[in-house]
Amino acid sequence: MRQLPVLVVHGGAWAIPDDMVETHILGVQKALAKGWHVLESGGAALDAVESAIVCMEDDETFDAGRGSFLTRDGRVQLDALMMDGATLRAGGVGCVERIRNPILAARLVLEKSPHVYFVGEGAERFAQEKGMQLCRNEELVIEREIKRLKEAQEKEAAGQPDLTFAGPLSSHDTVGCVALDANGNIAAGTSTGGTLNKDPGRVGDSSLIGCGCYADNLSAASSCTGWGEPIMKLVLAKWAADKVRTGGAPDAVVQEAMQYLQKRLNGHGGMILLDQRGRFGISHNTPRMAWAYRNTEREKAGINC
């Protein structure tokens, strides 16, 4: 039996300023179009997820790929994960500095390694051995982020409260995608540059299986964005998928997940969730979240839901 495809993407959950709303909506719409082209052509959910996330990694609007937040020492370090709901195969990379599209490296891990996760130089070496061309870290750094890091460190030196990680108004432009293809398989992916002024070597939830990303045909596909440490502690993506497996509807489960994140750890963020029946949910407990979805009947994008 053929399944009607569904695609959902997100581009971060935070207090997106009015003057950045248009670029965020355009960014997720472009990513949606890329992923949907794969699905409507009969392509696999994994391919649709990859296509959509590459589009957002290449868009400097988001905290993924080129234009990501800088570490305390002024470098870009990227994390990403992909997961196949049909087989539970997963591939992740963390703290990579010379890979322009970390979601492509994550796909290589998923398909060409018996392992699930590579970090740092080992991840870069693996990707290069599998044919990926590496870049210089300087190619991923843009002037906007140099200025943003300088301002953050000046505030820190002046003793002002640091809301880089915990503040719901701070920027979390992590990107993600969940997809259901015509064969009834689901997949998920998440990609990020982490948080502004983070300590080098810090890994957030995005690339950790079950935390910021998860997919299982028997439950659901999920991608998270927001303050990574609380999301990790709750293993939130897997938590939400398990709720669907035991009978929860995705649109209700995402609401419950955001309430749980807030109530248990005062965490903030957003989530997209999709099951094998094509039901999906989008939710956030931040002022805004960039998102878009499409199925055979409807297409929509926005920053509130």
Instruction: Give the pLDDT of residue 170.
Output: 59
Instruction: Give the pLDDT of residue 148.
Output: 92
Right CATH number for 6-302 from 3.30.70.270, 3.60.20.30, 3.40.50.300, 3.40.430.10? 3.60.20.30
Instruction: Give the pLDDT of residue 276.
Output: 97
Where is average pLDDT lowest: 25-39, 152-166, 254-268?
152-166
Whole-angstrom Cα distance, residue 249 to residue 281?
8
Identified catalytic residue from 23, 71, 164, 174: 174
301 pLDDT band, cuts 50/70/90, is very high
Name which of 215, 294, 250 is nearest 35 in CA terms: 294
Judging by DSSP bridges, how do beta strands 6-14 and 288-295 pair with one another? antiparallel
Over the stretch 196-215, which tens digit does the pLDDT of each residue have? 999 999 999 999 999 999 99
Query: Mean pLDDT in the chain?
Result: 95
As a whole-number percent, the residues of the chain with pLDDT over 90 amount to: 91
Instruction: Give the pLDDT of residue 264.
Output: 98
Over the stretch 16-67, which tens digit does the pLDDT of each residue have? 999 999 999 999 999 999 999 999 999 999 999 999 999 999 999 999 999 9
Name which of 203, 53, 186 is nearest 118 in CA terms: 203
Mention every residue, 6+ apart, whose C-beta is less than 8 A from residue 233: 265
Where is average pLDDT lowest: 142-151, 158-167, 235-244?
158-167
Q: What is the mean pLDDT of residues 159-166?
A: 60
Where is 145: in which H helix or E strand?
A: helix 143-157
Mention every residue, 6+ apart, whose C-beta is less than 8 A from residue 226: 13, 14, 172, 174, 261, 267, 268, 269, 270, 284, 286
167 pLDDT band, cuts 50/70/90, is low
Burial 78-114 (b: 16+ CB within 10 A, else e): bbbbbbbbbeebbbbbbbbbbbbbbbbbbbbbbeeee
Active site residue 174: yes
Name which of 52, 109, 51 is nearest 79 in CA terms: 109
If DSSP states are collapsed to H, E and C, what string results for 164-232?
CCCCCCCCCCCEEEEEECCCCCEEEEEEECCCCCECCCCCCCCCCECCCEEECCCCCEEEEEECHHHHH
Contact present, 9 and 35 (Cβ < 8 Å) = yes
Instruction: Give the pLDDT of residue 160.
Output: 78
In terms of Cβ atoms closer than 10 Å to its own Cβ (0-12, 13-18, 19+), residue 304 is exposed
